[in-house]
Amino acid sequence: MNSADGLRELIARHGIREGSEEARRLFAYLALLEKWNDGINLTASTSWSSLARFFEEALWAARLYPQARVTHIDIGSGAGFPAVPMRILRPAMRLLLVESRAKRAVFLETVTKELGLHGTEVVCRRAEEYLRSQPLPQFDIVSWKGLKLSSEALDGLLAASKPETRLWLFHGAELPLEEPATALKSLRLVQREHFPGRLIWQLSIYEFLAECFT
């Protein structure tokens, strides 16, 4: 099965109408992944057998995402999974993509422009540098995947958070934190969901403990 047919089948399974604006943008995102991948190695492969789990994870996570307008920062965005497809499906999201690798940041900027994802911004900096560089808004949701967040970055996120802020951690058997034992002293688990069909893969949603804000 080619990737376009695979995506067509996936969006139908998730109740997304093929002729909708959301579907159009998902197909455009797939086309950009295929176009850019040879040059900058965004993913190991653009075959559907490789991409299917990334798209399906994003569509699954979007079902758990609030419909209301929220400000969202995604750390280490890479090729844009799962944040970009989630943004496509949740247009009220105001998204900041933080990616330190210049070529991937340019790719994300191209995606944002060509897909018309208004309210989406790309920052090409390391998370630790960005979070300490300037006054930041207080984000409603913070997400990351594919990296272990440092204690320094977590401290920076606390400064850009409020008691209602949720941290969305996409991970396997281990939490994506450099020092999980230390980090968990300041976090409370709000919700944990297991990805259908891949029980080792999960989404853990945390919040900072109230005393962290005093």
Report if residue 153 sits inside a domain: yes
Looking at the structure of the chain, the number of domains it has is 1
Instruction: Give the separation between CA 63 and CA 66, rounded to whole angstroms.
Output: 8
Instruction: Give the separation between CA 50 and CA 116, rounded to whole angstroms.
Output: 26
Report if residue 36 sits inside a domain: no
Tell me the pLDDT of the chain averaged across its residues.
94
**∠ CA(99), CA(67), CA(122), 5° rounding?**
15
pLDDT in tens, 25-57: 999 999 999 999 988 989 988 899 999 999 999
**Residue ranges making up the domain that contains 178:** 54-213
Has residue 134 got a pLDDT over 80?
no
pLDDT in tens, 170-182: 999 999 999 999 9
Question: Comparing 41-45, 107-111, 174-178, 189-193, which segment has the lowest mean pLDDT?
Answer: 41-45
Report if residue 128 sits inside a domain: yes
**pLDDT confidence of 196, banded at 50, 70, 90?**
confident
Tokens of 196: 């259908």
Report if residue 38 sits inside a domain: no
Report if residue 43 sits inside a domain: no
Report if residue 72 sits inside a domain: yes
CATH no. for residue 102?
A: 3.40.50.150
Query: In angstroms, what CA-CA distances link 123 with 36, 81, 102?
Result: 19, 16, 10
Report if residue 136 sits inside a domain: yes
Q: What is the pLDDT of residue 44?
A: 87
Report if residue 7 sits inside a domain: no
